[in-house]
Amino acid sequence: MSASQRLRSLARLWPILVIVGALVLFLALGGHRQLSLEALVENRRHLGEIVTAHFWLALAGYALVYLVATSVSIPGLAVLTIAGGLLFGWIVAGFVVIVAATAGASVLFLVARTSLGATLREKAGPRLARFTEGFRKDAWSYLLFLRLVPIFPFWVVNLAPALAGVPFGVFLATTALGIAPGTFAFTLIGSGLDSVVEAQIAAQPGCLDDPACVPTIDPGALLTPQLVAAFVALGVIALLPVVIRAVKNRRHRSSPP
């Protein structure tokens, strides 16, 4: 590889390096420790006062933080979504999160496609090529399933379609639609977080006489089995077109000419 080719390769990779560097810096500074339910419970009154005094500025700042956190793939987005429901109400926070998360995911998608997509597709073997072709063919169903049932991290579902060559419009639409049910579910959880905290305080007698006490929040009290079952059901519905098409193709191949 000539010097000019190496420079062009580095020029394509610099956005990825910036994102990785920002994530490493965030983790090194301990920012991930602030994105926890305990930290949210501890600071909820102070944050509420800021929102009351500067609602629109706080909402804009929240949207910007969510966009950056999504594009950099910072862990703890679920807690950030719950915080939005707590501070701004589940409806307002839900729409803001959908817009900000879709924008942040799109940044990562476009960066990955321009920096890595072409190179990986050139070097991909026939097996990977067949996989990406199938992924593109049923991109709507696959991406909706992966968004509705979060079995993979959010950043993986942002990168995989870019590397598979999925059209940006399909990625954008499936991201906005696919994250909507989970987003509103978590902002709704956030809007009721105060009542959960009060219940946890009542269940921990040591906190009753200590205003500075931060109760331990049981995640099981927030994410119910019914909510998980609803996400799985939505994911199954999203995959139905793929299953129906596969059954039709198998019957067509097995039928006599």
Q: Dump pLDDT digits (tens) for 8-50.
A: 655 566 667 777 777 788 777 777 777 777 788 888 888 999 9
Query: In angstroms, rounded to a whole number, what is the distance separating the alpha carbons of residues 97 and 120?
Result: 31
With the CA atoms of 182, 185, 188 and 190 taken in that order, what torsion angle do they form, in degrees rounded to the nearest 10?
Answer: -60
pTM score, whole prediction: 0.76
Helix 126-137 vs helix 139-148: angle between axes, to the nearest 10 degrees?
Answer: 80
pLDDT score at 186 = 86
Radius of gyration of the chain (CA): 22
Write out the DSSP string of 112-123.
HIIIIIHHHHHH
Please check the confidence at residue 112 and state whether its pLDDT lies above 60: yes
Q: Any idea what DSSP says for residue 215?
A: P
Domain spans of the chain? 9-254
pLDDT score at 100 = 96
Query: Which tokens in the block code for residue 121?
Result: 């597709």
pLDDT score at 33 = 72
Among 138-142, 161-165, 178-182, the range with the most confident prediction by mean pLDDT is 178-182
CB 221 within 8 Å of CB 118: no
**Whole-number average pLDDT of the chain:** 76
Phi, psi values for residue 223, rounded to 5°:
-100, 100
